[in-house]
Structure formats: C-alpha cells, structure tokens
Structure 1
Amino acid sequence: MSSSPYEGLHDFVDQLPEIAQPLVVAVLGMIPYVEGEGSAALGILVGIHPVVAAVAGATGNILAVVLVVLLSSRVRESVVARRSQRATDALGVMSADPRDEQPNRRSKGRQRLSRWLVRFGVPGASLLAPVVLPSQLTAAFFVASGVKKGWVILWQAVAIVLWTGLVAAAALGVVSLLGW
C-alpha cells in the first residue's frame, strides 16, 4: 500500500470528532471555486467516507447558493424598485426593463454564461456553468438576469448534486486505483 500525499491531512482529520468531519467538508463546500465537488474530493482523499463527503460537500454548496440567491434577489428587487421610482419621478411613466441599462463590458465567463442562458435555458446553463464559474456567481448572475429565485435554486441544486457526485466518484476511483 502506497503512502498518500494527503497523509498529514488524513491524520489531522482523524483527530477531529467524527461529527465535525462532515461539517468541515460542508464549510469547504461553501467556498467559491472549492464548492461541493472540491470539498467532497478532498474529504474522500483524506479518508472520510465517500457518501458522507459527497453529501456534506453538496449540502454546504447548496446552502451557500441559497443564501446568495436570497440576498441577490433582495438586491435586485431594490434596484428595480429604485429605477422604476426614478423613471416615474422623471418621466411620469414606468421604467423599461432594468437589464437594458447594464453596461456591455462583461468578463468572458459571464459572456459565455449569458449565451448559455439564452441557448439552453436555466437548466442547461446551470449544468454547464460549473465549467466556467462557481455556482454562487452563477446563481447571482441568474437572479440579476431576472430568473425567478426558486428556479435558480432548483437547477443550481441539481447541478451541484450532479457535479459533486461525478467528482466524488472520480476521487474514489483515484483513491482505489492508487491504494490510498
């Protein structure tokens, strides 16, 4: 049996109470770019049961996305209301869609995500987005684009569970293949 390069982390995790191990994985899952996939893979690599690591990582990621969606939707509602009020005060009529006033400069990732949203809808864009951006940023983008928050939460959760499961299976395969 070969020695794991994660042996020091494995020893650290073994010293934690068993109930704290999935909590650490869940907290890691809340971090953009680590997400459920990365936290589950790391949990598996350091010796946490694969199902426990995957569920904890996905749960942490989903909780972070729900928080981002709820906060983003409140911000969007405030911006839309403020713009509408300004337009009503200035013109005596209701404002046009607030998305029309957004600047055209966007990062390559946001441009790609916008194209995917138009081409594949929220389900397809949610499933593809982890290749380009963290789920928290994707969720905020969808909400800012006017997608209903329940729809964003549903499809982001589906994507998180799918991607976390795939990466966890790959991590389990690596651990098994290398005999860690």
Structure 2
Amino acid sequence: MIENLQELTESLPPLLQWLGVMLAGAIPFVESYLGSVLGILAGLEPAVAVAAAVVGNVISMLVFVLVAARVRTAAAKGRGKPDSPRRAKLRERFDRFGVPGVSLLGQTLLPSQITSAAMVSFGASRNAVIGWQIVSIVLWGVLFGVLATLGVDMLAVAG
C-alpha cells in the first residue's frame, strides 16, 4: 500500500504532490508519520511533506472526533452494551494515562483517528482530545520527517 501511495504521489505534477501526501496522511495507519516519510521519499521538501501529512491527518482526526461526539451524545441515552476486549484495553489505558498520555503514546498502537474517537466516546472533553491529538500528530510527523530526511541524506552520501 505504501509503495502504491508513493507511486501515486510521484506521478502527480510537482505542484500537486503535497496533495497526495495530504491524502495519504488522512489514511488511518499511514497518518502524519508515514505520510511525512512518503512525501520526503517522493522528493518533496521535508517541511512541505511534514506539513501536508500533518494537515491531512488532523482533518481526518477531526472528522472522527466530531462524529464520535455526536454518536456518544445519542448513545448516552441508552448505553448498556459491554465493551469489547479491545475497547476495554483502550479504556484501561485512557484511565491510566489520560488524554495527554493516550494522545502522545496511542499512535504506537492504534491510529490517531481511532484513539481520539474512543477517548471522546469514553467521555473525554472533545476540545482536550482535539488539542492533544494535534500536538501528537505534529510531534510524530516531525519526528518521522527528520528521521526520513536523515536517512535520505545518508543514502545520498553513501551512494
């Protein structure tokens, strides 16, 4: 899938390659971190690649959070269904680490879209989740963008 996204991005005219990276960043499990790498490998300037991946990831996460907030409001009236094992595990981590911890560390296990929607469904403040998720998305995108840039630079020196 990543190779297909990279080929798609590289096939776009140079002025639209950032759009391909932004769309890739909106995909769960690709997000800002792999979207940044994808953009850098496709030849975009690192700052443009990271910014495009972050914007795509943030827009996607916002959609998930806003939908989850509406669903929670509607479902709160008649909740009685037990949590699935995966949801119970996420709730346990949410109770232990709170919104900041789950936002910053959650992307190591699940996409930001899923963790953010789950936190809102657990009753976390929508605005707190959005704020911390944006911080997390930016940090992960920048970290992987820097690593990709260093890797590309090392390959250029070695070649």
Q: Give the shorter-chain TM-score range.
A: 0.7 to 0.9
1:30 matched residue in structure 2: 26
Name the SS of the counterpart of 2:85 in structure 1.
coil
> What is residue 117 of structure 1 aligned with on the other side?
94
Number of matched residues?
153
Q: Which residue of 2 aligns with 1:157?
A: 134
2:117 corresponds in structure 1 to 140
**Greater Cα offset, 113-122 or 131-140:** 113-122
Using the size of structure 1 for normalisation, the TM-score is: 0.78
Structure 1 residues 11 and 151: CA distance shift in structure 2, 3 A: closer
Matched, 1:67 2:63: yes
Aligned to 2:72: 76
Q: Report the Cα distance in structure 1 between the residues aligned to 2:9 and 2:68, rounded to whole angstroms.
A: 37
Which residue number corresponds to residue 50 of structure 2?
A: 54
Q: Which residue in 1 is equivalent to 2:82?
A: 103
C-alpha distance in structure 1 between counterparts of 2:93 and 2:102, whole Å:
5
**Letter of the structure 2 residue corresponding to residue 31 of structure 1:** I
Query: Does the residue aligned with 1:161 lie in a helix, a strand or coil?
Result: helix
Q: Deviations over 1:136-176 (max 9, x none)?
A: 10011011101121111101110000011101111111101
Fraction of identical pairs, as percent = 39
Note the residue ranges of structure 2 that are not aligned, 5 or more in a row.
none
Q: Would you say 1:130 and 2:77 are equivalent positions? A: no
Partner SS, residue 44 of structure 2: coil
Instruction: Name the counterpart of 1:88.
Output: none
- Does the alignment pair 1:176 with 2:153? yes
Deviations 1:65-86 (A, max 9, x none): 00111111111111113x2xxx
Higher radius of gyration, 1 or 2? 1
Task: Write the deviation string for residues 100-136 of structure 1: whole angstroms up to 9, x where unpaired.
Answer: x3414322xx444323311221011110000100001
Cα distance between partner residues in 2 of 1:112 and 1:175: 38
TM-score by length of 2: 0.88
Given that residues 10 and 47 in structure 1 are in contact (C-alpha distance below 8 angstroms), is that contact kept between their aligned partners in structure 2? Answer: no
Match of 1:20 in 2: 16
